[in-house]
Amino acid sequence: MAPTEEKTRPRITDEGVEALRARIGIPQPNPVPPHYLRPGTDAFRIVARAYGDDNPLWCDPDHAARSRWGQPIAPFPLVGGDSLIGEDVLTEADLARQDEVRGDPLRGVHAFYSACEREWWNPLYEGRAVHRRNALVGVLDKPSEFSGRAVHEWNANVFATADGTPLAGQYRLMIRTERDEARKRKKYDDVAIEPWTEEKIAEIDAQYAAERARGAEPRWFEDVEEGEEIAPLVKGPLTVTDMVCWHTGMGMGVYGVAPLRLGHRNRQRIPRFYHRDDLGVWDAMQRVHWDPEFARRSGNPTTFDYGRMRETWMIHACTDWMGDDAWLWRIRVEFRKFNYVGDAQWITGKVVRKHLMEDGNGVHPAVDLELAATNQRGEVTAPATATILLPSREHGPVALPEPMGGATTLDGTLQAAIRHFSRT
């Protein structure tokens, strides 16, 4: 390789890592406007369909009226997401510091969505405006088997209704890796995506046909036992069509990828996110998810899903199992392996702990789950944990949990996240 190529190749440097750390705790705007400003039941339904969920709790007023919530509530994946909802709230002091967070100290270094922790504190009802605050909250410099050196970035996004009711927190781990080193090591060269036989497809079809959300039937805390397995879900085999449907509900994410004239404008905004394709046409780097040749350039054998897809599949497994009157409080999902086009994932889980939790909002009968997404090769591609609050014959209907740190405001939830991740 020529010396000039070595100098221009994107690298993780000590200076870049320190510059990134200097940004911790500085609130900043989300890169693109929200996909939904005031989502209603149509948006609830479309988002749920994007990950294969047909629970009427999200969109059928007659069904939802009989639930603990009395009306449709947003599916849990909607309350958060990279750019799904939330208008930025920035103070004058925040705006005065935006020069400190311009550009990317690790520009050109690839970012993998590696893990996510999420909490939900209150339901989102239809037609509500949502506010958000965002900040980088943690930076760890680590060696990586995949790329030689990696940086772990924790970003916090917190959400509240416009009247100040805290809704949810999303804490995302992005792993930054050096693309060229990843290609050199060829870690995934031995991955084989085999064709599916009619018999195997029939087995998956049979499982799809048997899947049902628990719905209106309460899952009582007293009836759950440790070691109990949840009803499994199957997702796949993954197709590009699945990802098209995903984007229909979920939007195009933080890079604001758009078509035609809007795509031209977006390229002017973030030119380094665009490369010319084999025909000399500008296209987004996000095409690793639907362009097999571009995916191979990133060190993978073919196109692959978004980590957030499997995150929503884990959430779907939880909400199908828990019933309408329960509350998904927390989930953490790690993305250990890629989920390639042609792969299927089985979402399984079991109850590992049954306990009473208490905070300023009362007593919460709770169960902890361990979950996993496992592909047809027997590989766990995404382990997860979740905590679900269940209705109780003794303690009554679900009481919603306190936000992180007992915060009662939007900024209070962001400050609590900064304190939490600075300790970890």
Q: What angle do CA 216, 220, 225 make, to 5 degrees?
A: 130
Q: Concatenated DSSP letters for 215-276?
A: TTS---GGG--TTPBPPPEEE-S--HHHHHHHHHHHTTTTTT---HHHHHHHHHHSGGGEEE
Considering only CA atoms, give the Rg of the chain.
22
Residue 65 pLDDT exceeds 50: yes
Residue 187 has a pLDDT of 66
Query: Could you tell me which of 400, 316, 389 has the C-alpha nearest to residue 78?
Result: 316
Print burial letters for 237-269: b (CB count within 10 Å at least 16), e (below 16). bbeeebbebbbebbbbbbbbbeeeeeeeebbee
Compare 207 and 298 and report the one with higher pLDDT: 207
Q: What is the DSSP letter of 164?
A: S
DSSP 326: S
Q: How many Å apart are CA 335 and CA 116, to the nearest integer? A: 9
Residue 235, φ and ψ in degrees, nearest 5: -135, 110
Q: State residue 307 phi and psi, 5-degree precision.
A: -55, -35
Residue 340 pLDDT > 70, yes or no?
Answer: yes
Q: Which two tokens stand for residue 265?
A: 């404008």
Look at the alpha carbons of 140, 136, 334, 286 in this order and tell me if their dihedral is positive or negative. negative
Give residue 110's pLDDT. Answer: 83
Look at residue 5 and tell me whether its pLDDT is greater than 50: no
What one-letter code names the amino acid at 237? P
Q: What is the pLDDT of residue 182?
A: 47
pLDDT band (50, 70, 90) for residue 145? low
Tell me the C-alpha to C-alpha distance, in Å, between residue 247 and each of 50, 79, 227, 229: 7, 16, 36, 31
Q: Over pLDDT 70: what percentage of the chain?
A: 94
Angle at 116 between CA 215 and CA 54, to 5 degrees: 25
The pLDDT-based confidence of 183 (bands split at 50, 70, 90) is low
Residue that wins the pLDDT comparison between 3 and 26: 26
Residue among 264, 9, 283, 307 at smallest CA distance from 147 = 9
Instruction: State the pLDDT at residue 48.
Output: 98
Asked if residue 43 lies in contact with residue 295, where contact means CB atoms within 8 angstroms, the answer is no
- The 3-class SS string of 261-305 reads HHHHHHHHHCHHHEEECCCCCEEEHHHHHCCHHHHHHCCCCCCEC
Per-residue pLDDT of 184-240, as tens digits, reads: 546 666 788 899 999 999 999 999 999 999 999 999 999 999 999 999 999 999 999
**Angle at 381 (CA atoms; ends 423, 181), nearest 5 degrees:** 75
Segment 153-180, tens digit of pLDDT:
999 999 999 999 999 999 999 888 876 5
φ/ψ of residue 329, rounded to 5: -90, -50
Contact 304, 370 (CB under 8 A): no
Q: Beta 87-88 vs 130-142: how paired, if at all?
A: parallel
Does pLDDT of 6 surpass 70? no
pLDDT at 2: 46
Q: Of 331, 343, 322, 323, give the one whose Cα is nearest residue 235.
A: 343
Return mean pLDDT, the chain.
Answer: 92
Q: Which residue has the tokens 């935006």?
A: 98
pLDDT band at 248; cut points 50, 70, 90: very high
What's the CA angle centered on 386, arms 383 and 389, to 5 degrees?
Answer: 165
Any idea which of 113-117, 274-278, 296-300, 342-346 has the lowest mean pLDDT? 296-300
Q: Which residue has the tokens 């009582």?
A: 220
Task: Output DSSP code: residue 397.
Answer: S
- CA 80/CA 214 separation, integer angstroms: 24
Interacting residues of 11 by C-beta distance below 8 A, sequence separation 6+: 109, 178
pLDDT at residue 124 is higher than 70: yes
User: Given pLDDT bands bounded at 50, 70 and 90, which one contains residue 181?
Assistant: very low
Q: What is the pLDDT of residue 146?
A: 58
What pLDDT, in 10s, does the model give residues 384-413? 999 999 999 999 999 999 999 999 999 999
